[in-house]
Chain A
């Protein structure tokens, strides 16, 4: 696994990972998928029942065709948000990034070290590890139509990726000494 910078100017704030034997890093790959009509056709056909459940839960009425178009438009908007945060002259970049991510688990209402995090726009999700304030490593992303990540293979895979990256960062000691001790002691 390699750590790849996304936004590191004027200082590092956002990284992603390049898994072994993969050509593209996770951040790049996820955007390519969300903007790929062939991928989306296949995805929403395969998960049409989940889309119905999503509609029922959220009071929406998306057909698979509409869902495909919506995903592309939402992905463009998500991209713009992140791109603007990446511009060095953008003084509010840090603030924006911090606002973008939230704890993965909805019941968590405070930040801590190596916390599993997520950024979302509608059903689009990025998953990340929060190393410290304004420093995140994106582990992957997906289209999430179900309530629980463990319910579907593609979302469950994301859970495993987050855990894998967390272990990697811990092994590389990419946390400060105090945090490392806390982690070792299970605090």
Chain B
């Protein structure tokens, strides 16, 4: 240690800055503290907009002014009850949960694969082989999704001509990449 470091250590206070302990706490609780501070900023903004005092908010919430003071400091680990009360009293939304997305089933997956494949082939046939869509639908008749196929347990007939055979072969090839797909649902009629 250099002389100057020894000297400053002698002159300085023995107790460290309170910052270290506070920083440790803030690091450990960072996620909810950030949310609490964002809520505090929002609440303060609404109070300012409406010219409303913190005391009035406390009365409407049915809590002490000290409690509101803590809320607007963004140091409170707010309960869902308190957040809901704040939302109701101020008529604002403080946080929203994203709506649950339904989990994809195997059927959904097959449906998706089929539709993607269908779209790709349709595009390919229309652009490369100069076939009209009406004709394609009429002759290929593959408008059903896998879901429909499975539900109805129906067969689809592909009435193909030689010029379209290669496209149908592509469908066949893709079909084999998806093992769950019931093979019986497709039958080629040449």
Binding site for B on A (CB under 8 A): 2-6, 8, 11-12, 15-16, 18, 24-25, 27-28, 31-32, 35-38, 40-41, 65, 68-69, 72-73, 76, 79-80, 82-83, 86, 131-132, 135, 172-176
Contact = CB atoms under 8 A, between A and B. Distances in A.
A2 B5 contact: no
B30 A4 contact: no
B79 interface: no
B118 to A, nearest CB: 45
B44 interface: yes
A43 to B, nearest CB: 12
A162 B15 CA distance: 23
B95 interface: no
Main secondary structure of the interface of B (DSSP, over half): helix
A6 B72 CA distance: 28
A17 to B, nearest CB: 10
B45 A15 contact: no
> Closest 5 A-B residue pairs measured CB to CB?
A37-B40, A3-B12, A28-B19, A37-B41, A6-B17
B155 to A, nearest CB: 60
B13 A2 contact: yes
B164 interface: no
B41 A5 contact: no
Contact of A72 (B11, B37, B45): B37
A68 B13 contact: no
Nearest to B1: A11
A73 B34 contact: yes
A79 B23 CA distance: 7
18 contacts: A3-B13, A4-B12, A5-B9, A5-B12, A5-B17, A12-B12, A27-B19, A28-B22, A36-B74, A37-B41, A68-B41, A72-B34, A73-B34, A76-B30, A76-B34, A131-B4, A132-B4, A173-B7
Interface of B: 1-5, 7-9, 11-13, 15-20, 22-24, 26-27, 30, 34, 37-38, 40-41, 44-45, 48, 72-74
Given A36-B73, A86-B20, A176-B3, A41 B45 contact: yes
A27 B104 CA distance: 52
Contacts of B72: 37-38
Contacts of A72: 34, 37-38, 74
Given A37-B41, A80-B27, A82-B23, A12 B9 contact: yes
A65 B41 CA distance: 8
Contacts of A32: 22
Nearest to B43: A37
A174 B4 contact: yes
A22 to B, nearest CB: 12
A14 B27 CA distance: 20
B5 A11 contact: yes
A37 B37 contact: yes
B34 to A, nearest CB: 7
B23 A83 contact: yes
Contact of A37 (B7, B13, B23, B74): B74
A69 B23 CA distance: 18
A17 B34 CA distance: 28
